[in-house]
Amino acid sequence: MSDHVYKIIELTGSSSKGIEDAVENAVARAAQTVRNMRWVQVTDTRAHVENNKIAYWQVSIKIGFTMD
Amino acid sequence: MSDHVYKIIELTGSSSKGIEDAVENAVARAAQTVRNMRWVQVTDTRAHVENNKIAYWQVSIKIGFTMD
Amino acid sequence: MSDHVYKIIELTGSSSKGIEDAVENAVARAAQTVRNMRWVQVTDTRAHVENNKIAYWQVSIKIGFTMD
Amino acid sequence: MSDHVYKIIELTGSSSKGIEDAVENAVARAAQTVRNMRWVQVTDTRAHVENNKIAYWQVSIKIGFTMD
Amino acid sequence: MSDHVYKIIELTGSSSKGIEDAVENAVARAAQTVRNMRWVQVTDTRAHVENNKIAYWQVSIKIGFTMD
Amino acid sequence: MSDHVYKIIELTGSSSKGIEDAVENAVARAAQTVRNMRWVQVTDTRAHVENNKIAYWQVSIKIGFTMD
Amino acid sequence: MSDHVYKIIELTGSSSKGIEDAVENAVARAAQTVRNMRWVQVTDTRAHVENNKIAYWQVSIKIGFTMD
Amino acid sequence: MSDHVYKIIELTGSSSKGIEDAVENAVARAAQTVRNMRWVQVTDTRAHVENNKIAYWQVSIKIGFTMD
Amino acid sequence: MSDHVYKIIELTGSSSKGIEDAVENAVARAAQTVRNMRWVQVTDTRAHVENNKIAYWQVSIKIGFTMD
Amino acid sequence: MSDHVYKIIELTGSSSKGIEDAVENAVARAAQTVRNMRWVQVTDTRAHVENNKIAYWQVSIKIGFTMD
Amino acid sequence: MSDHVYKIIELTGSSSKGIEDAVENAVARAAQTVRNMRWVQVTDTRAHVENNKIAYWQVSIKIGFTMD
Amino acid sequence: MSDHVYKIIELTGSSSKGIEDAVENAVARAAQTVRNMRWVQVTDTRAHVENNKIAYWQVSIKIGFTMD
């Protein structure tokens, strides 16, 4: 445990449903190319507005994963 | 597109339901006086506590809209 | 009102349901030892990832309460 | 209470007397056009120097007021 | 001088030419509704990319102007 | 001196008189339960507005004290 | 649109001509390996000094691009 | 695991030996009153200078521990 | 006016009277070696506590002055 | 020199020995896939605590390397 | 190389031409009293507005130079 | 004690040995021209990488010293 090295990447996920779902979408997309994800940190929460309503949320996150 | 100017205003929306709803309430209120809103950025997330529970969320946002 | 003193403590709450629920859990736990909570401010939003999904959210908050 | 929306504006007030007076001056000026001010947050404290003395303080604040 | 109150507004200007021009565009647009502008502070510098080139710059600024 | 450990707590003090007095009130209240206070750092300066005037200042501070 | 995921990478571009050109150079280099770049955010502006003049600018940027 | 609540406290540890030792001293002192410490985050690194040498390091940390 | 260069130095002033007086003391001391001071910005407000009272304020400032 | 482009990646290294060793471990791991590393910046210093002692340090860094 | 000590000073340069020129002016002025300048970091970008146009840019920088 | 004024300067020290040694080197160099140094604050920790190893650490610090 004490000699692990983690890499941190930054993504922005989108969702019309809400903040948590935007994060889940980003994690799901990252899973196509990254293994061993461990944690997520939200760094920015934005939303796109259309016709005076939130059209979709855009949440930027950092993802940490173990380098094998 | 390349010559647009946007104005950015700051609001705090409230909601007993959750963070996204507090943002939606602020956007809905802004729509009474502002047209052409494009994006929202969350700048502060707070909540009011009563009787050991969250009574309502108070979310501060910046709203960007096109100046015609 | 003008002579109140508030103490501010910092907690991290967890929840598999979402960000608001993690905050509620921290407030509920704090209620066992602290009275007169007034406000909450979210200072950090993280999540633990297992098997390419959010296993649980970890939300750090500051809680302000009146010192009697 | 839980459905209020607040607008936040930013001003810089000046005063040769001190920091609090500069804030009071900004609030007094804002009162000419804004109703229902609720809170003030100091964001920057500066001063203008003339002849090796503070000539006047310049304090930037955010003011939150209820949107009716 | 010592009793002036300034209001601060936030705009985002765009330009395909460069950062300074984007700021100039925002100031020119603000001049249609605001008098007595005194200073500008750059708060964020972004650009929109199309076909692997900068299509236009988007520079966010705060503008301070004297309240008469 | 070189092996001291300090604990840091965070309070918000209020006062209708001014910023320094709000800090003094917080320190006086802390003195009821904490010994050996050494330093204070101001972390946030706010005020409550009523009838277009500052009703009272609310100053958040960190207090460091020696753990015996 | 609402289900896009973007990846954000960080580069530092150099140029003896100026800030915008340093950003353009970084974007041009990124284009060799990354498709669908959408936006750039400047995060740090530095310069290398030789013989009392700016020898070249070094501008750090974040680039966001769509993950197909 | 997903329903844990952590409390976060802030300490400053001192040591004439170095940064890590100052943190260890703060953790050792905290262990007299707190159980189940999990993580430490360094928030400020300072040192006291005497006779042109570092006399002792003063490192401020946040400590997170599980609330049983 | 448009070709002035300013130097910025950082000082910490002390005073048992209050925040403004601590700034004035730092400006007065700087005046012994620096000419043409123009502005001050407060960067940190601290205080030393003795016997449960503020013994003196310690205010850090940046001072800008014209280089002749 | 003036036309170099650098890429910046973010890693977290671990070590039971200390902060510098955690950074060295992250650099050594990065060397398996990245060439031409030039600089490191420490962005976060944390530690994992077990049985009231630091079990291992976790230091987050940004690494800049030349893009050939 | 590994035992160099650098001093960092802070200046604000002005120019009616643009941001880069304001930095060049500050570096040129510093060269009258400082040798061995190595790097510049932009810390604040402001401008003075007259008659609804940018009259001159004011760019604050840190300059690092080798102490012989 | 209550009327002291401190000046704060910023240096970057280097060392192939470690972070503390880089700070000591900067303090030792400052001692050639500055008297009455009181405290140091670490503001940035970087390192130069050569051949996939840390060649030397570069630690930026602020030093506070009493103005006689």
Q: How far apart are the first and last CA of chain A?
A: 12
Is the per-residue pLDDT at B1 higher than 60? Answer: no
User: In chain D, positions 35-64, which contact chain B (CB-CB < 8 Å)?
Assistant: 62, 64
DSSP string, K16-62: SS-HHHHHHHHHHHHTTT---EEEEEEEEEEEEEETTEEEEEEEEEE
Q: Of how many residues is chain D composed?
A: 68
Residue of chain G with shortest Cα separation from A16: G2
Note the ipTM here.
0.96
Q: Do chains F and G touch (3 or more CB pairs under 8 A)?
A: no
d(CA C1, CA F47): 12
Q: Tell me the pLDDT tens digit for each residue of B27-61.
A: 999 999 999 999 999 999 999 999 999 999 999 99
Distance of residue G50 Cα from the nearest chain E Cα, in angstroms: 25
Binning pLDDT at 50, 70 and 90, where does residue I29 land? very high
- Alpha carbon of C17: minimum distance to chain A alpha carbons (Å): 9
Collapsing DSSP to helix, strand or coil, C56 comes out as strand
Task: Look up residue F63 and give its two tokens.
Answer: 């207090």
In degrees and rounded to multiples of 5, residue D25 shows phi and psi of -65, -40
Q: Which of H51, H53, H44 is nearest to H14 (CA)?
A: H44
Alpha helices, DSSP H only, in B1-68?
A: 19-30
Note whether H9 contacts J: Cβ–Cβ < 8 A: no
In this prediction, what percent of chain I has a pLDDT beyond 70? 97
Which chain J residue has the Cα nearest residue G28? J5
Q: What mean pLDDT is reported for chain L?
A: 96
- Give the pLDDT confidence of K3-46 residue by residue, as tens digits: 899 999 999 999 999 999 999 999 999 999 999 999 999 999 99
Min CA distance, H15 vs chain F (Å)?
Answer: 6
Q: Are J43 and J58 in contact (CB under 8 A)?
A: no
Res. J60: pLDDT tops 70? yes
**What is the count of residue pairs from D and F with beta carbons less than 8 Å apart?**
35
pLDDT tens digit sequence for H37-47: 999 999 999 99
**CB G45, CB G57: distance < 8 Å:** yes
Q: Name the helix (H) or strand (E) containing J20.
A: helix J19-30
Q: Which 3 state secondary structure label does DSSP give C21? A: helix
J21 to each of A8, A25, I6, J26, J56, how far by Cα in Å? 19, 36, 42, 9, 10
What's the gap in Å between the CA of C50 and the closest CA on chain B? 25
What stretches of chain A adopt beta strand conformation (E)?
Answer: 5-15, 37-50, 53-66
Token pair of I23 as six digits: 């700034």
pLDDT band at I38 (very low <50, low <70, confident <90, very high): very high
Question: pLDDT tens digits, residue range F17-37?
Answer: 999 999 999 999 999 999 999
Residue C58, helix vs strand vs coil = strand
User: Rounded to a whole number, what is the distance in Å from the CA of B50 to chain A's nearest CA?
Assistant: 25
DSSP letter for J17, please.
S
Smallest CA-to-CA distance from L47 within H18, J37, A10, B40 is with J37
Q: What is the mean pLDDT of residues E9-24?
A: 98
CB-based contact, E18 to chain G, within 8 Å: yes
Query: How close J14 gets to chain A, by Cα (Å)?
Result: 5
| Residue L51 parent element (H or E) | none
Q: Which two tokens stand for residue E23?
A: 């700021």
Which chains does chain J touch, 3 or more C-beta pairs < 8 A?
Answer: A, G, H, L
G61: tokens are 């940027």
* Best of D20, D33, D59 to mutate (most F CBs within 10 Å, chain F): D20
Tell whether the model's pLDDT for residue F57 goes beyond 90: yes
As a whole number of angstroms, the distance between CA H36 and CA I55 comes to 37
Closest CA to I23 of D20, D45, E4, D40: D45
pLDDT in tens, chain H (68 residues): 568 999 999 999 999 999 999 999 999 999 999 999 999 999 999 999 999 999 999 999 999 999 97
Distances (CA, A) of E50 to C67, G27, G38, G59: 57, 11, 7, 20
Contact between chains at G6 and A11 (C-beta distance less than 8 A): yes
Question: Cβ separation of K39 and G52 shorter than 8 Å?
Answer: no
In this predicted structure, the answer to whether residue J1 has a pLDDT above a threshold of 60 is no
Kindly report, residue by residue over C12-53, the tens digit of the pLDDT: 999 999 999 999 999 999 999 999 999 999 999 999 999 999
Q: What is the mean pLDDT of residues I25-44?
A: 97
Please give the C-alpha separations between residue G43 and each of E46, G13, G63, J12, in angstroms, as whole numbers: 9, 12, 10, 21
pLDDT at B2 (0 to 100)? 65
L17 close contact with K: CB closer than 8 A: no
With cut-offs at 50, 70 and 90, classify the pLDDT of residue C2. Answer: low
Element (H, E) at I25: helix I19-30
Compute the nearest-CA separation of L43 from chain H (Å).
8
Subunits with 3+ Cβ pairs within 8 Å of A are: B, C, G, J
Q: Is the pTM of this model over 0.95?
A: yes
H47/L19 touch (CB, cutoff 8 Å), yes or no: no
Q: Hey, how many other C-beta atoms are within 10 angstroms of the C-beta on E63?
A: 23
Measured CA to CA, the distance from residue G45 to residue E41 in angstroms comes to 16
Q: What is the pLDDT of residues J25-56, one digit of tens each?
A: 999 999 999 999 999 999 999 999 999 999 99
Q: Nearest residue of H to residue C18 by CA position?
A: H2
Do residues L38 and H48 lie in contact, with contact meaning Cβ atoms separated by under 8 Å? yes
Contacts of G30 (CB under 8 A, 6+ apart): G9, G11, G37, G63, J5
* Kind and range of the H or E run holding L16: none
Distance from CA of F64 to the nearest CA of C (A): 14
Q: Give residue D5's pLDDT.
A: 97
CA–CA distance, K4 with L46 (Å, rounded to integer): 14
H16 at the L interface (CB within 8 A)? no
* Of L11, L15, L56, Cβ closest to residue K7: L11
Extract the tokens encoding I50. 């003795």
The residue with greater pLDDT, K50 or G68, is K50
pLDDT at K7: 98
- Specify the pLDDT at position J68: 75
Task: Search chain D and give the residue with CA nearest B29.
Answer: D5
Residue L5: pLDDT band by 50, 70, 90 thresholds? Answer: very high
- Pairwise CB contact (< 8 Å): C37 & B49: yes
pLDDT score of E2: 65
Judge contact between D5 and B11, C-beta under 8 A: yes
Query: Over the Cα atoms of chain D, what is R_g?
Result: 14
Instruction: Look at residue J3 in the predicted model and tell me its pLDDT.
Output: 80
For E28-40, the pLDDT digits (tens) are 999 999 999 999 9
pLDDT category at A1 given cuts 50, 70, 90 is: low
Query: Searching chain F, which residue's CA lies closest to the CA of residue I56?
Result: F39
Residue I34, pLDDT > 60, answer yes
Q: Choose among D44, D46, D49: nearest Cβ to I27.
A: D49
Residue-averaged pLDDT of chain D: 96
Beta strand segments in J1-68, E: 5-15, 37-50, 53-66
- Over residues A29-61, the pLDDT tens digits come to 999 999 999 999 999 999 999 999 999 999 999
Cross-strand pairs, E28: none
Q: Residues of L with CB below 8 A from H46's CB? A: 39-42
Residue F62 with chain H: CB contacts under 8 Å: 10
Of residues D2, D6, D62, nearest to B56 (C-beta): D2
Q: Which of H8, H3, H11, H2 is nearest to H65 (CA)?
A: H8
Size of interface A-C (CB pairs under 8 A): 35
CA J23 – CA J6 distance, rounded (Å): 20
CB atoms within 10 A of CB L19: 25
| Interchain proximity K24–G54, CB inside 8 Å | yes
Give contacts of H57 with chain L, Cβ < 8 Å. 20
State mean pLDDT over K52-67.
98
pLDDT of G40 above 70? yes
Q: Is the pLDDT of residue J5 over 70?
A: yes
Amino acid at L48: H
- Predicted confidence (pLDDT) at residue G28 exceeds the cutoff of 70: yes
Residue D52 pLDDT greater than 60, yes or no = yes
B14 part of contact set with chain D, CB < 8 Å: yes
Chain G contact probe: residue of K42, K59, K60, K63 with most G CBs at under 10 A: K42
Q: Decide if F61 contacts F21 (C-beta within 8 A).
A: no
Strand partners, H41: H62, J46
C-alpha–C-alpha distance, residues H42 and H21, integer Å: 13
Average pLDDT value for residue range K43-50: 98
Cα–Cα distance, C56 to G27 (Å, whole number): 37
Which pLDDT value is given to residue I2? 64
Q: SS3 of B37, please?
A: strand
